[in-house]
Amino acid sequence: MLRQAFSVVPFYLTSSDGDVTNLMDYGLALGRRFRALKLWFVLRAYGADGLAEIIAGHIAMARELAGWIEAAEGWELLAPVPLSTVCFRRRPPGVDDEAELDRLNADLVERVNSSGAAFVSHTQVDGRYAARMAIGNVATRPEHVRRAWDALNS
């Protein structure tokens, strides 16, 4: 009952593995009073200018990935990239069946994640299955994004 009461799972957090324990489903959201404390610590650690620089770097990496997707044959960008999340899918020439594209991309996400080379989540964009890369870790560098793109293409 506790899990049922706290579970709000968007499509991109669903898993094909039914044995996954998601701890977010078993407790109150961090407590309303201390939500600002997390931001305070980040601002204290990086400063407003440092945080802005990190975010700008993430956006630049996402836009570079979006450029690679748009330039590559057999790939499709599914949404604009105003921030640091990129939604895309593999679309091989001659494959137009949406169910087949959904299956192909679900297999792609599973293969990349199983390899450990990168983590790619999934979502739906206008009812179409999409791979989703969210660049937001302070340690992410351009070479990590390149490695993820290489893994998607291997």
Q: Is the pLDDT of residue 147 over 90?
A: yes
Identity at 142, one-letter amino acid code: P
Q: What is the pTM of this model?
A: 0.76
Over residues 29-58, the pLDDT tens digits come to 555 566 678 888 999 999 999 999 999 999
Q: Where are any strands of DSSP class E within the chain?
A: 75-77, 85-90, 121-125, 128-134
Task: Please say if 12 is a catalytic residue.
Answer: yes
- The pLDDT score that the predictor gives to residue 45 is 95
Over residues 77-124, the pLDDT tens digits come to 999 999 999 999 999 999 999 999 999 999 999 999 999 999 999 999
Cα 61 from chain centroid? 13
Return d(Cα 26, Cα 8) in angstroms, integer.
Answer: 11
CA 61 vs CA 66, 87, 99: distances in Å: 9, 14, 30
Of 12, 26, 46, 129, the active-site residue reads: 12
The radius of gyration of the chain from alpha carbons, rounded to an integer in Å, stands at: 18
- The pLDDT score that the predictor gives to residue 69 is 98
- The pLDDT score that the predictor gives to residue 37 is 82
Return d(Cα 123, Cα 56) in angstroms, integer.
Answer: 24
Report CA torsion sign: 147, 116, 104, 20: negative
Question: Which domains does the chain show, CATH number per domain?
Answer: 11-153 (3.90.1150.170)
Over residues 1-24, the pLDDT tens digits come to 666 665 666 776 677 766 666 666
